């Protein structure tokens, strides 16, 4: 009885193990190949629970989603002999699992082959145009050309290349430094030209302002001389009118002005003769005559 029970347990375990090995599941994002002694016997594209012959058949699960492929940065020489470092990426989808299995066998090998194809297409397409085209609106057309070229080659692997894009296109480090220095030199030259033009303009403005100042001062001096002359003429006219009215008083007034101007300062000394005309108003009779007036 004990031996029979052991045999039944072993048989149950074998049946359970066989049952587990006779079924497999394919999800919505997968497709499968059923292999029998290394040969593909069936392609499974629909999701669900599937059956296979245990221990004889094997299942290879293959992703059917759109997959990303990063391409290492490569240096490309454009048609104008300018070098640029291109960092690109691609997206692909496995559309023929049988051809995919036969040609590249697995995803890792497929990625390596696609990287080589993308690099070759980048060199060929970008090498046929000038550097400026990569930075212009023509870049989108170049990406389509690269994608179509890679897709034509990828079909032999059962792969459809959905898209190829340039993530970044830069000049090599040494070229970037040289261009930066050249740009810096050009900007410094432009700055010097601007400063020189500014200095020239400033000198012109200052010269114009100095000319206007000179003209204004000349006009002001001219006007002041005219006014001074008119004032002197008016004063002379007034003096002449006053002299005509009373010549003796006017003579006395002018003499007093002369005395004040000559003797106004305390350290002024004059040596004159007592009968000098300059002192005639200091005589008593001249003083009395003036006082009566």
Listed residue (98, 105, 101, 93) closest to 154, CA to CA: 93
Question: How many residues does this entry show for the chain?
Answer: 293
Q: How many helices (H) and strands (E) does the chain have?
A: 8, 8
Ordered by start, the domain boundaries in the chain are: 2-63, 67-171, 252-293
Tokens at 51, concatenated: 């059956």
> Is the CB of residue 116 less than 8 Å from the CB of residue 195?
no
- Rg of the chain on CA atoms, in Å: 57
Cα(176)–Cα(170) distance, integer angstroms = 8
Cα(213)–Cα(206) distance, integer angstroms = 10
> Is the CB of residue 175 less than 8 Å from the CB of residue 120?
no
Cα(78)–Cα(128) distance, integer angstroms = 7
Look at residue 238 in the predicted model and tell me its pLDDT. Answer: 79
pTM of the predicted model as reported, rounded to 2 decimal places:
0.56
- 3-class state of residue 136 by DSSP: coil
Cα(119)–Cα(87) distance, integer angstroms = 10
Tens-level pLDDT at each residue, the chain (293 residues): 567 777 777 667 776 767 667 888 899 999 999 998 888 889 898 898 888 888 888 889 999 999 999 998 888 888 888 888 888 999 999 999 999 999 998 999 999 999 999 999 999 998 899 888 887 888 889 999 999 999 999 999 999 999 999 888 877 766 556 666 777 888 888 898 989 999 889 899 999 999 998 989 888 988 988 988 888 888 878 777 776 776 777 777 777 777 677 666 666 666 666 666 666 665 654 444 444 44
Look at residue 186 in the predicted model and tell me its pLDDT. Answer: 84
Listed residue (139, 138, 90) closest to 115, CA to CA: 90
Look at residue 77 in the predicted model and tell me its pLDDT. Answer: 85
Look at residue 68 in the predicted model and tell me its pLDDT. Answer: 94
Query: 67-171 belongs to which homologous superfamily?
Result: Band 7 domain (3.30.479.30)
């Amino acid at each position: 009885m004990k031996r029979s029970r052991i045999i039944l347990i072993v048989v149950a375990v074998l049946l359970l193990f066989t049952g587990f090995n006779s079924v497999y599941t394919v999800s919505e994002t997968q497709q499968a190949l059923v292999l029998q002694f290394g040969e593909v016997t069936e392609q499974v594209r629909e999701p669900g629970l599937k059956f296979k012959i245990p221990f004889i058949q094997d299942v290879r699960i293959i992703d059917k989603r759109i997959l990303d492929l990063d391409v290492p940065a490569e240096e490309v020489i454009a048609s104008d002999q300018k070098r640029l470092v291109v960092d690109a990426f691609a997206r692909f989808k496995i559309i023929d699992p049988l051809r995919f299995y036969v040609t590249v066998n697995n995803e890792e090998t497929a990625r390596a082959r696609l990287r080589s194809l993308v690099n070759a297409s980048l060199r060929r397409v970008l090498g046929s145009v000038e550097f400026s085209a990569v930075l212009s609106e023509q870049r989108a057309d170049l990406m389509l050309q690269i994608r179509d070229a890679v897709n034509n080659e990828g079909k032999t692997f059962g792969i459809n290349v959905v898209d190829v894009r340039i993530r970044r296109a830069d000049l090599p480090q040494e070229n970037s430094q040289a261009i930066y220095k050249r740009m810096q030199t050009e900007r410094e030259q432009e700055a010097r030209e601007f400063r020189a033009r500014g200095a020239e303009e400033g000198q012109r403005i200052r010269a114009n302002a100095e000319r206007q100042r000179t003209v204004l001062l000349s006009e002001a001096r001219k006007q002041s001389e005219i006014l001074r002359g008119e004032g002197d003429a008016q004063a002379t006219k007034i003096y002449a009118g006053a002299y005509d009215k009373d010549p003796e008083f006017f003579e006395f007034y002018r003499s007093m002005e002369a005395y004040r101007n000559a003797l106004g300062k305390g350290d002024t000394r004059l040596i004159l003769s007592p009968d000098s005309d300059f002192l005639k108003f200091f005589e008593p009779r001249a003083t009395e005559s003036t006082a009566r007036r």
